[in-house]
Structures are given as C-alpha cells and as structure tokens.
Structure 1
Amino acid sequence: MAKKTVKFIIGPLSSGHVQKWFENFTPKPDEMIYLFTIHKGVWDNSKGQFKIINCGKTRTRLDFVILYWAVFFFSRSLRPAVTSVHYLSSYGLSVRLLKSDKVLLSCWGSDVNAIRINLLSRAIYAPILERAAWINAPSASIKEKLLKMSGRISSNIIDVFQYGVKLQPALCKEAGKKSPDCTKFVSNRHWSPHYNIDLIIQSFAFFVRDRNVSSQLYIYGKGSESDVARINSLISSLDPQIRSKIVLRGFVDHYTLLNEMKDFDVFISIPKTDGLPLSLLEAMYIGLLPVVNALPVYEEWLSDSCGIIVKELTIENLALALARAHNSYLEMNLSTNREKVISRANFDQNTARFLENFA
C-alpha cells in the first residue's frame, strides 16, 4: 500500500473559524489529515480521513504545553508535507517545535490585536512568522502589524482576506429600502466590555430622549453571567418609555440571525479593537447601513457615502451618528457595500484561495 501524504491542521475548534476555512475541503484518497486542538468542536470526519488529536485534558493553559509536545513528537514521526496553523499567539507557538515541509499561518484580529509590539513579542513571534511560507491576515492593518513584528518577512507572503460571506441573495434587502414605520438599529456583537454594548445602549437612549423619532434598538449576542447581568441592569435603569424601544434578543443561531437581519436598517459595531468581523461583512451584504468607530479595519472597508464612522467615541457622538443614520439613510449608497462584499469577501472564492495553499 502506498504511503499516504500527511498534513496537519493546528487550531481551535471552539469558535468555528477553522471549520469555515476547511468547510469545502475534501482530502484526496492518498491523504491523511491530523488535526491538533485543545478545544471541543464539531468536525466532519464521515470519510475517516481525519485523525483528531485533542490535547484538552486539564482545561488549563497546561493543555497548550501538552499540544506543543504532541506536535513536536507527531511531526517528527509523520513529517507532514504541509501544516496549517491558526491563531498566532497561542496555537501558533507550536511552530517553534514543528517539523513540517511547509507552514501556513492564519492570523485573526482578536489574536494579533492582543499582542503588544516590543522586544519580547518580536523575540517570540518573529521566528514563527519567518517559518511561514504563506500567511493569511483578515485586514491590511493586521498585515501591517505582522510586518512590524519581523523585519525579515516579505509583504508578498501575507495575503489579506477573510473567509467571507456565503452569498445568498434571498437574505438581501432592497438597497436603500428603509423600514416603513421606524428606524431599526441592531447590534449583534459579544456582550463583553470589549465590544462596548453598554455605550450603544446609552447612546441610543440619549438619541431617542432628545429627539421625537420612531426607532428601536435590537440587541443580539451573548456573554458571561456577569455580562448578561450588566446589560440587563443597564436596560432596567432606563426610563420605561426608552426601555420599551429596546429589544433584547440575546443569542440566536446563525441562520435565524441572518434571516432577521434584513428587517433592520442600521448595524452598529464599536469595539475597542477588531480584525475584520464577519458580522460587519454580513450587514454590508444584506444591505444595512454600518455605524462604526474609527478603527483601521472599518476605514479600510467603509467611506462616508456608505457608512458612518464615529471619529471620537462618546455617548454624545454616537448618538449624533445614530441621528445621522436616521435622517440620511436614504442618501447612502448601500449597494456599494454589497458590491465590495461580493468582490472581496465571497466565501466560496476566499476559502478556495486558502485551500490552494494547503494543496
């Protein structure tokens, strides 16, 4: 029997990012794929061509140590032809112990944004970046930060794209068509303090209190018990008339969320840092007007004609942005946003680009 070509995938299964990249991947009959993780997650192994090596034994950071040594030993005995590594600051450290003919590195916004560039971080991450034959970054700002971590890697090996949106025309609302009775705002980011959901609620309250307008705010998402308690407490503290305009939807499955998004008009996302969130791309594709803060990745994708960027994030300034969205919605060229997503963030095209490197 001919020896099979071995390939490695190293990364988390908990968030779904890795599954997205490999959703359209089918191993060749002569390939065997080893997947190293410390997280639980769904992975299709119906054809038996994946061996999942889960090193999550203690539910502590010690699991990463176990994973690093598993990668060390398995890579020397199996010698993978190519290894796809996801998340630079955790799973990416395994590259220091990896023996592989070709290394691909997928960096995420939440990953790279958490790294402070200094002598220590350069000492840790530069050798990892320099091992990679190809690097994927979700945005130009993330690429720029990676280049600052190592002066020895070429910008040509870093491709900028996110896996993107599955194009489903049935999800799209008619460009420029607004809800007939009121302006409907929506937030669907995580409820941790990082995403400033509190500020969205406070700004919406300021907006509707000072203006006699018909509007609603829908809040999707989830968080820890303390996050949920904090959000509920904030909403409960509002005037009943304002509170009646806020709908706390909480967590719903992705299919339900996408089908409900087309009923809204304005998408709000104002985190402290960001890569390129799928939620923004989906909102742009569906036809919502984005209201965002002045993060580099948002400024890469949006302009004044198709989005509202809040330069200095305060309750008053965000309230003014919501007012502008309410008053100027019909003047916005939202079809431009959809065209950008179709050309630059097409799921089938972008995952195919990714998998070309895994061949």
Structure 2
Amino acid sequence: MLSLLVFFVHGYRWGERIRGDERRFLELAKRFKEAGLRLYVVEHAPSMQKAYYGKPMYYSLEIPSLYGYSNYTSLMRMLYTLSFVIRVCLKFRRRIDIIYAHNQDVSNLVPALIAKAIIRKPLIIVLHSLQDFNFSFKELLKMYRGSILDSLLILSQRVIGRLILKLADMVFTVSHTVRKEAEKSLNIKRIVVTGNGVDTNKFRPLKLEKKYHAVFCGRIDFAQKGIDMLLKAWKTIVSNLPSAKLLLIGGFQDKHNQGLLKKFVEVLKLRDNIIITGFLPDEKLVELLNESNIFILISRFEGFGLSVLEAMSCGLPCIVSDIPVFKELHDGIAIFSSQESTKDLVNEVFKILSDRTRYERLSFFSRIHALKFSWQVIADKEVTIIRTIAKRYSKLR
C-alpha cells in the first residue's frame, strides 16, 4: 500500500471559512483512501476531517493549536510548525512513498521541501493559482496598507515559493489557464492538469421558494473577489428595484475586509438589501443557493473558482467576470461581465430576471455543465500518476 505524507496546513479553523483548495483535498482524500492509498496528513488541530466527514478518512498528524496566543507571530508559528514537521519526518520516514502539498501556500511548500530533503522521496505540489507569485512590491505595499515590513515578508515568501515549485517532481494544476501561466512565468515542465470537481449529489437543484435576487459565495476578499464592484452594481440595481436582495455567503479574508464590507454597506445605504451569512455548513449552503435566483462572481483573478461550479450544480444561472479561466471552463454556459465595470453586471441581472424562458434555459444548462466535473475522475487520474511516480522512483533506487 502506497503511503503519502500530505501537507494540509491551513491558517484557520473549520467554521471560519473553507477555501476551494481545502474542499478539493477533503473530497480527494476520501477517494484516495478508497483507491488503497494511506494518507498521513499534517494539519492544524483540530483536524478538518472530523467536521467534514464525521469520521476518520486519514491519519491526522495534528500540529498543536496556537490559536488565541497573540504573542505567537507568523514567523514563530512557522518555526514551530517546521520543528513539528522535522519530528514527523524522522518518525515516519520509512513509511512514506510520496510527499504531497495540497496547495502553493508557503506554509505547505516549505515543510514539504524539508520533508523531501529528509525522507528523500518525490514531491508533488497542487498549484491552484499563480496570482500569489505575480505581485510586485509596489502592489504588495498597497495591499498591506503601507507596511514595508509586512510587504517585504510576503515578497520573500513568494520568491521562496517560486523556487520550491521548480524543485517539485510533479505539479498538478486545476486548470489549463494555470498550467499555461506556470509554464510561461516559472518555466515548469513537469506539470499535469487534473482539474476540480463538484459533488452533484450534494449540490443539486431543490424545489424551494426563491427569496433572494442574487447570491455571492466565497471568501469576502475585496482585492480578489471584486466585492467592491458587486456592491456598487447592487446599489444601481436597488435604485431600479428597491426590494432587490443580495446574499453574501462566506467567511472574511481578514478583519480589514470585514471592516471594509461594513463601510461599503453603510456608505451605499444597502443595509436593507444585503444579507451577510458568514461561513455556512454545506447543507445550509445548498439550501440558500437554491433560494437564490442568480449566482454572481466577478473576481479579478481565479485559478478555478469552485463556487461557480457548485452554484451551477444547483441549477443557478451564473454571471462571472470575463477572466481567462472562466472563459476556459464555462464558455457558452455562464454569462460574462467585465470585472472593472458595473454596467454589464447590472444589465445582465435585469435581463435574466425579466426573461423567464432564458432563465430556465440557463438553469438547465448550468446543471448539465456541472455534471461533467467529477471528483472521482480527478482522483483516479491523480492516483494513476502517483502510482507511476512511486514505481519509477523505486526502480531508480
């Protein structure tokens, strides 16, 4: 039985938020186990599998929680994590066949590289987006509100991340758009597109009364998700349709984004038209998606945008930004809108709401489109490649 040492280090607890990359790993882990792989997963305590599955799916190597200890800086957390990883590698080094980093965050890449050096086994990295590696120092300074120290720290992390990606034995990506960017900007050759999926049995159409005109689902992150443009567009919609309700589902990226959302809602006078739910368990998420008419995601950049697929699986017409990855994945199915102009978005919302025949057609083809994206197909593809790499490496030894 092949054994994987997986780095699933995330900076928050279940119930705060869940990103697409975390959902991806949790969905694949179950299928990896069914395929006969043994997973040793390094993650923060408490393990996410307890809330997601309700039962163990892998052997969790929990990093003792440092939540609530304000005296632990980011650097100290990283050093603590690395010392934990070294102990894990020394203990399990004879059992591991493959090292697997579930995303490109430095919190996973650095420990994975250390594991590769100690255990001397192949490293596979799942690359969800290259946007983290493309910011200039000037852009970082703007993002971190003038803090030179924070900007330099993040810039150094991204330089390290680029170097580690080049040292991987194989890179999996979630879209052809990400693959092309990686080949061009990082000159990575050992790269395979394995994609993303959706659980169409969980995310499915339900016959529920429509209570909300539109819904957004994702992290409340103004810089990436275009929340500012969405709220400005909704202000215009409300001026023509005072009863218009917009549902915002998802955890906050940080306290800055939380404060920014509150400020936007107050300044635009949208308190009666915006419903903010925060993070929701999947059962409630599916219910609210089905109670909404339209799904909107006008991100400025994405590696995949898993929430679009989940909304489509529930039969929602989707309006998305005209960025390359959405055109790759949803051309002919989604409605595209400029991520820098509210005019297109406002017009498309009213067009869909006012034309029932078009609405039903978009809803039908959204569901059909989502059925093409299977977690099982992705898991089978990755398992085949993992077995091939492990077999090839054992022969070289």
TM-score after normalising by structure 2: 0.71
| Deviation for aligned residue 1:217 | 1.8
Distance 1:327 1:244 in 2: 22
Equivalent positions of 1:83-232 (< 5 A) are 83-90=99-106, 91-97=108-114, 98=116, 99-109=119-129, 112-116=130-134, 124-125=160-161, 128-151=164-187, 153-154=189-190, 157-162=191-196, 164-168=197-201, 171-172=204-205, 179=210, 184-194=213-223, 195-209=225-239, 211=240, 215-223=244-252, 224-232=254-262
Letter in 2 for 1:50: Y
8 A Cα contact 1:172 1:262, kept in partner = yes
Equivalent positions of 1:30-49 (< 5 A) are 33-38=39-44, 40-43=46-49
Moved more, 247-256 or 222-231: 222-231
Distance 1:134 1:350 in 2: 16
Letter in 1 for 2:7: I
For the residue of structure 1 that corresponds to 2:295, the secondary structure is strand
Distance 2:45 2:179 in 1: 27
Equivalent positions of 1:318-329 (< 5 A) are 318-328=345-355
8 A Cα contact 1:56 1:63, kept in partner = no
8 A Cα contact 1:117 1:149, kept in partner = no
Change (3 A) 1:358 1:278: same
Deviations 1:44-92 (A, max 9, x none): 5977972515276645233334444554565466142111112224112
TM-score after normalising by structure 1: 0.78
| Deviation for aligned residue 1:321 | 2.9
Whether 2:98 is the aligned partner of 1:82: answer yes
2:293 to 254, 265, 285: 265
| Deviation for aligned residue 1:238 | 4.3
Specify the alignment match of 1:19 in structure 2.
26
Query: Quick check: which one's helix share is greater?
Result: 2
| Deviation for aligned residue 1:282 | 0.5
For the residue of structure 2 that corresponds to 1:43, the secondary structure is helix
8 A Cα contact 1:38 1:64, kept in partner = no
Moved more, 188-197 or 230-239: 230-239
Moved more, 290-299 or 325-334: 325-334
Letter in 2 for 1:281: L
Alpha carbon RMSD of aligned pairs, Å? Answer: 3.7
For the residue of structure 2 that corresponds to 1:255, the secondary structure is helix
Change (3 A) 1:95 1:222: closer
Change (3 A) 1:74 1:214: closer
Distance 2:265 2:304 in 1: 29
8 A Cα contact 1:265 1:288, kept in partner = yes
| Deviation for aligned residue 1:105 | 1.3
Change (3 A) 1:49 1:178: closer
Change (3 A) 1:84 1:121: same
| Deviation for aligned residue 1:23 | 2.6
Whether 2:371 is the aligned partner of 1:337: answer no
1:298 to 316, 326, 337: 326
Distance 2:133 2:4 in 1: 28
Distance 2:214 2:238 in 1: 12
| Deviation for aligned residue 1:234 | 3.0
Deviations 1:291-341 (A, max 9, x none): 1112221111223x4322113522333322322333356325443332332
8 A Cα contact 2:299 2:339, kept in partner = no
For the residue of structure 2 that corresponds to 1:12, the secondary structure is coil
Specify the alignment match of 2:78 in structure 1.
64
Deviations 1:169-226 (A, max 9, x none): 783158xx995xx8721112222322232321221120231x3586432222232444
For the residue of structure 1 that corresponds to 2:99, the secondary structure is strand
8 A Cα contact 1:71 1:94, kept in partner = yes
| Deviation for aligned residue 1:145 | 1.9
8 A Cα contact 2:309 2:370, kept in partner = yes
Aligned length: 341
Distance 1:207 1:37 in 2: 43
- Over the matched positions of the two proteins, sequence identity in percent amounts to 14
Distance 2:81 2:171 in 1: 22
Letter in 2 for 1:235: V
Distance 1:28 1:202 in 2: 48
Letter in 1 for 2:75: R
- Structure 2 portions without partners, runs of 5+: 13-17, 67-71, 137-155, 388-397
